Amino acid sequence: MDFVAIDFETATSLWTSICSMGICVVKNNKIIETKGMLFKPVPFEFNESNIAIHGITPQMVWDKPQFCDCWKKIKPYIEGKLVIAHNASFDVGALKRTLDMFGIDAPSFDYLCTVKLSQKAYPELPSHKLNALGEAFDINFSHHTASDDAYACAKVFLHIIEDFGINSLEDIKDKFDIEAGKMYKGFVEPCRKNRKKAPCAK
């Protein structure tokens, strides 16, 4: 499958305070690119609790571009693509709200949440947090570093693809009863996890 995994870190509790983004591009089930970007959040404010989580300080981003300044470079990664995120409601919501704040039209894409997918695929695991899944699947990454989180998210989805023989969104719906979410201009449809018995691996 082809998809792109994304992750955002924020400077405060506001979803629009994006200070970092991670992108991991997958083609034919192979990771071909992983990158991270730092942004100067708007407004330029940081909470100590957020800094404690991701380690990004005001000094690290005071001279970085704002998210809107980089959008033309970011958009081709996700426009029309299948986008994957861990706790996708936050990442897709942060993207939508930030674009709205800057008066930028939202792109169109389908998206899936690896929290929901991993809960259906591996209900026996005690936790479906990204760091716990990393330990379960032997994924080496630095948690809350956006580029690493995007990479780990991609690896989790690839693990599910391999274990359950996934080749399409239809396979996701058939095996997990999960509907892909959608973003398009002016609206976001949530990724839906219906209550269906956990599937068997191939």
Active centre residues (catalytic)? 144
Residue type, 57: T
Q: Which residues of 127-158 are buried (b: 16+ CB within 10 A; e: fewer)?
A: ebebeebbebbebebeebbbbbbbbbbbbbbb
Q: Which residue, among 74, 72, 66, has the nearest Cα to 101 in the 3D structure?
A: 66
Residue 131 near residue 155 (C-beta atoms within 8 A)? no
d(CA 35, CA 4): 11
Strands 178-179 and 192-193: antiparallel
d(CA 54, CA 18): 12
Task: Enumerate residues 6+ apart whose C-beta is below 8 A from 167.
Answer: 1, 161
Strands (DSSP E) along the chain, which ranges? 3-10, 18-27, 30-38, 82-85, 109-113, 178-179, 181-184, 187-189, 192-193
